[in-house]
Structures are given as C-alpha cells and as structure tokens.
Chains A and B, each alone.
Chain A
Amino acid sequence: RAAQGRTYGNLGNAYYLLGNFQKTVGAHEQRLLIAKEFGDRAAERRAYCNLGNAYIFLGQFGVAAEHYKRTLQLARLLKDKAVEAQACYSLGNTYTLLRDYERAIDYHLKHLIIARELKDRVGEGRACWSLGNAHTALGNHQDAVHFAEKHLEISRETGDKS
C-alpha cells in the first residue's frame, strides 16, 4: 500500500509534466488518500501542493487556493520554513489570478517576511515585485514605488538583468 502511494505520486507528476492535468488530479487524489491512511503528513503536504499546481492549469483558481492553504497548514505543522514561504508565494499569485489583491498582498507579505528570515534574496526580490504589482492594481502608488525600488535594488544585487 505504501508503494502504491509513492507510485500514484510519481504517476501524478508524470501526467503533470505531460500537461494532462485531469489525470494529474486523479493520481494525486489517490496519493493523498493513501498518505492520510498512513498518517504521512509530509506526503500529504506534497499531494496538496501538487494538486494546487494542477488546479492552476485547469483554471480552477479558487480550488487551487484551498489546496495551497492545506499545504501551508501542513508546512507550519512540519516546521518547514522554505515550504511555508513557497505556499505563501503560491497563494499570493493565486489570489492575484482571482483579482483579490488585498489577500494577494497579505500572502506576499508573509512570503517576504520568511524570505528575509531565510536570507533568500531571490525570494525577497520576487515578493517585492509581486507586492509592487498588487499595490499598483489597488492604486496605492506610494507603496508600489517603495516595493519597485526594493525590487530594483535586489535585482541589481543578484545580477538579474531582466
């Protein structure tokens, strides 16, 4: 049964890379079920993240957000800061797709705080980029300029010409 769980996970990833997102969801749902049977929180966390990603490409952004929220809860439970940051970044982008810029800002700020904690300058730059855009969408031009300047500073530091 444990091997079946891993196989469903691998199968889901293969379907995902092939661009078959319906089959991706089917496989990762099975993977999730087996992870829950075993109380394997790390596998459960991976399945929620993979499901969230698949729902993004199925255009079901609200469903994707719910899966990313479970990913975030489990990342916190497992005390995995890097995964927590990644889940916040995914949620920020998903709420941008949903045009809910206040929630997007909330999650991008959470991502920014963890990126700083982890001294992840690339992550910090991306958070500032996203925050600048979300504030622009809301007409908060002062805040947008603040984050755009931070993004520029970090991009220069990391040598990101684009």
Chain B
Amino acid sequence: PMRMHSLQVDSVQRWMEDLRHMTEVE
C-alpha cells in the first residue's frame, strides 16, 4: 500500500500481517 523507504515498509507490513489474523474475541 505504500511507496517509502524499504525499512518502513518492513515494520508496517509486519504489523499488517499480524493484524490480518487478529480479532477482539467476544
């Protein structure tokens, strides 16, 4: 989703990969 410094893509993309499987369970 981004065009920026490659290191930045790493940390945000890592977060998004984790987020994709994360839900706040009832």
* Given contact pairs A13-B25, A46-B25, A57-B20, a sample of 10 additional A-B residue pairs in the complex whose CB atoms are under 8 Å apart: A9-B26, A49-B24, A50-B23, A56-B19, A90-B15, A96-B12, A99-B4, A126-B15, A133-B8, A133-B11
* Contact status A50-B24, CB under 8 Å: yes
The answer to whether the Cβ of A107 comes within 8 Å of any Cβ in the partner chain is: no
Residues of A within 8 A of B19 (CB): 53, 56, 90
Q: Is the interface of B mostly helix, strand, loop or mixed?
A: loop
> A10–B16 Cα gap in the complex (Å)?
21
* Contact status B26-A97, CB under 8 Å: no
Which residues from 34 to 89 on chain A have a C-beta closer than 8 Å to any C-beta of chain B? 43, 45-47, 49-50, 53, 56-57, 59, 89
Contact count band on B: 10 to 19
Residues of A within 8 A of B26 (CB): 6, 9-10, 13, 43, 46
Residues of B within 8 A of A10 (CB): 26
List residues of chain A with CB under 8 Å of any chain B CB: 6, 9-10, 13, 16-17, 43, 45-47, 49-50, 53, 56-57, 59, 89-90, 93, 96-97, 99, 126, 129-130, 132-134, 136-137
> A43–B25 Cα gap in the complex (Å)?
10
Residues of A within 8 A of B25 (CB): 13, 46
Given contacts A9-B26, A56-B16, A133-B7, contact A97 B2 (CB under 8 A): yes
Give the Cβ gap from A112 to chain B, nearest Cβ, in Å: 13
* Contact status A130-B11, CB under 8 Å: yes
> A6–B5 Cα gap in the complex (Å)?
41
Give the Cβ gap from A151 to chain B, nearest Cβ, in Å: 9
Give the Cβ gap from B24 to chain A, nearest Cβ, in Å: 4
Residues of B within 8 A of A93 (CB): 11-12, 15-16
> A158–B1 Cα gap in the complex (Å)?
30
